[in-house]
């Protein structure tokens, strides 16, 4: 089996994705599986057709990599791939639409508003008062798409109109739509979901403690020793079960495939909100998904090889049923 690991791309998360790509290549090498890294560029299609992989493993985080664009290209090329399909990738990448889907399933999601850049024409003082009246005194401003806490700003109670203006400018630099949400104080948790033959299984939730800042920002996520991950989270069993059920519900509601990871804030009163759902979580040495799988007894090599074999088998079934064509194969005859 030949695996194309697709990484990089135009996103601000490109370097993070390359770290995931390197980890995957090492894991496949240890399993004796041929794998090659490909950058998400305009030449990707021709390069894939030339190499003719049996399966693709996308780890290109951010825009064009996990928003359905890359998945659509792989569908056109007829290359089976690990992870969610076009629609569920696009839905999960759009945080506002994700909230609508999860809310319809009865899952608690953050209160918030989606804003376009027209809002920057408004008086910041007036806008800040309006947002606080609607959402509360503490806010978080973030791009609608993307991840890795890039472009996100917290506005605590002492923040003023100038801080709001700067936060909006920062977020709009990454996305034409910005979410302003109530900032929920509490414990950061995440729960990974793994698809099995008989349905999705939630691994033990992980509690995240930032070691370098007072919240789980970019440095806490990616700096060496930036955060501490505790899996299973040291919480009551009923709380853990509620988080697992919510993660599986979110996975199913968005139509995710193979894997996903839902992020939560658990508040002091025991209630939680679902912050977002990641369809392509990181696969670096410090990544949360592989850590949760390891706690369940699955090695990194077993995990990634299993995803590749599962996607390859799924692609073989589709071809046998006539729903997809091998990459580069022409169609002859009448339609």
Q: How far is it, in rounded angstroms, from Cα 220 to Cα 39? A: 27
**Catalytic-role residue among 163, 276, 289, 315:** 276
Whole-angstrom Cα distance, residue 200 to residue 306? 15
Q: Is 289 a catalytic residue?
A: no
pLDDT at 301 over 80: yes
In the three-class reduction of DSSP (H, G, I as helix; E, B as strand; rest coil), residue 76 is classed as: helix
**How far is 183 from 180, CA to CA, in rounded Å?**
9
* Residue owning tokens 């999960």: 92
pLDDT digits (tens, 9 = 90+) for 174-232: 888 999 999 999 999 999 999 988 899 999 999 998 755 665 555 555 555 557 899 99
Question: Is 195 known to be catalytic?
Answer: no
Residue 140 structure tokens? 């978080």
Domain architecture of the chain: domains with CATH = 2-82 (3.40.50.20), 91-108+185-279 (3.30.470.20), 112-182 (3.30.1490.20)
Angle at 265 (CA atoms; ends 16, 149), nearest 5 degrees: 25
The active-site residue, picked from 222, 227, 289, 315, is 222
Burial of residue 39, with CB atoms counted within 10 A of its CB: 0-12 exposed, 13-18 middle, 19 or more buried: middle
Q: Is 198 a catalytic residue?
A: no
End-to-end CA distance of the chain: give it in Å, rounded.
32
pLDDT-based confidence at residue 146 (cuts at 50, 70, 90): low
**The tokens 């799988």 sit on which residue?**
293
222 is an active site residue = yes
CA dihedral 292, 295, 298, 301 (to 10 degrees): 70
Helix, strand or coil, per DSSP, at residue 263: strand
pTM of the model: 0.88
pLDDT in tens, 35-58: 999 999 999 999 999 999 999 999
């Amino acid at each position: 089996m030949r695996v194309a690991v697709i990484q990089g791309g135009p996103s601000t998360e490109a370097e993070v994705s390359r770290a995931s790509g390197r980890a995957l290549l090492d894991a496949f090498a240890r399993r004796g599986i041929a794998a090659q890294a490909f950058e998400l560029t305009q030449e990707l299609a021709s390069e894939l057709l030339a190499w003719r992989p049996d399966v693709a493993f996308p780890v290109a985080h951010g825009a064009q990599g996990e928003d359905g664009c890359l998945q659509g290209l792989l569908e056109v090329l007829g290359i089976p791939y690990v992870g969610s399909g076009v629609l569920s990738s696009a839905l999960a990448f759009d945080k506002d639409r994700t909230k609508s889907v999860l809310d319809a399933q009865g899952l608690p999601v953050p209160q918030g508003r989606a804003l376009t850049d027209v809002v920057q024409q408004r008086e910041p003082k007036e806008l800040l008062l309006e947002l606080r009246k609607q959402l509360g005194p503490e806010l978080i401003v973030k791009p609608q798409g993307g991840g890795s806490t890039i472009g996100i700003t917290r506005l605590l109670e002492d923040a003023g109109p100038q801080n709001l203006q700067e936060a909006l400018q920062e977020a709009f630099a990454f996305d034409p739509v910005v979410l302003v949400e109530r900032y929920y104080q509490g414990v950061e948790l995440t729960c990974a979901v793994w698809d099995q033959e008989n349905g999705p299984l939630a691994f033990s939730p992980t509690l995240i403690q930032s070691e370098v800042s007072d919240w789980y920002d970019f440095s806490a996520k990616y700096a060496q020793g930036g955060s501490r991950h505790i899996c299973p989270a040291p919480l009551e069993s009923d709380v853990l079960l509620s988080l697992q059920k919510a993660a599986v519900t979110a996975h199913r509601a968005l139509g995710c495939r193979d894997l996903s990871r839902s992020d939560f804030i658990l508040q002091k009163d025991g209630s939680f909100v679902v912050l977002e759902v990641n369809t392509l979580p990181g696969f670096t040495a410090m990544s949360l998904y592989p850590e949760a799988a390891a706690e369940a007894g699955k090695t990194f090599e077993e995990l990634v090889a299993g995803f590749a074999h599962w996607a390859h088998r799924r692609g073989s079934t589709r071809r046998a049923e006539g729903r997809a064509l091998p990459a580069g194969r022409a169609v002859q005859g009448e339609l």
